């Protein structure tokens, strides 16, 4: 089993075009994914995503996503440790990618991604 690592940060945005311009200037590159529902930049080894639906899903700020081998086992372990499910496991973006999130006892959202 690989050690979980933070490789994705997703920002909830209200104006996707404006956010894309700002993050493009910051990243110094064009997005690697540019869809009406999600824009993503690669910065070194980090995926930086812009989600225009994030606020409707209860996100009030950026969320770091931990890449894990087994999202179901990781979610169960976090709940057992005291986290609360924020978003159940679901498919995201095709290709076998699954996402979920929890809130820690302080109310911070922690994301999980399984890529295979």
Q: Is 0.85 topped by the overall pTM? A: yes
Homologous superfamily, domain 5-114:
2,3-Dihydroxybiphenyl 1,2-Dioxygenase, domain 1 (3.10.180.10)
Q: Provide φ and ψ at 83, rounded to 5°.
A: -80, 160
The vertex-8 CA angle with 18 and 45, nearest 5°, equals 100
Give the pLDDT confidence of 23-60 residue by residue, as tens digits. 999 999 999 999 999 999 999 999 999 999 988 888 88
Q: Regarding beta strands 38-43 and 46-51, do their DSSP bridges make them parallel or antiparallel, or are they unpaired?
A: antiparallel
Inter-residue contact 89 to 75 (CB < 8 Å): yes
pLDDT attached to residue 96:
80
Tell whether the model's pLDDT for residue 21 goes beyond 80.
yes
Confidence of residue 106 (pLDDT cuts 50, 70, 90): very high
List the one residue out of 45, 40, 112 whose CA is nearest residue 76.
112
Structure tokens that stand for 89 in this block: 């496991």
pLDDT attached to residue 36:
95
């Amino acid at each position: 089993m690989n050690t979980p690592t933070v490789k994705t940060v997703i920002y909830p945005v209200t104006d996707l075009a404006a956010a894309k311009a700002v993050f493009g200037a910051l990243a110094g590159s064009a997005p690697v994914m540019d869809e009406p529902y999600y824009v993503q930049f690669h910065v070194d080894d980090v995926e930086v995503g812009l989600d225009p639906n994030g606020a409707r899903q209860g996100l009030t700020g950026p969320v770091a996503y931990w890449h894990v081998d087994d999202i179901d086992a990781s979610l169960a372990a976090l709940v057992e440790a005291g986290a609360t499910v924020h978003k159940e496991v679901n498919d995201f973006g095709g290709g076998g990618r699954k996402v979920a999130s929890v809130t820690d006892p302080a109310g911070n959202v922690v994301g999980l991604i399984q890529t295979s």
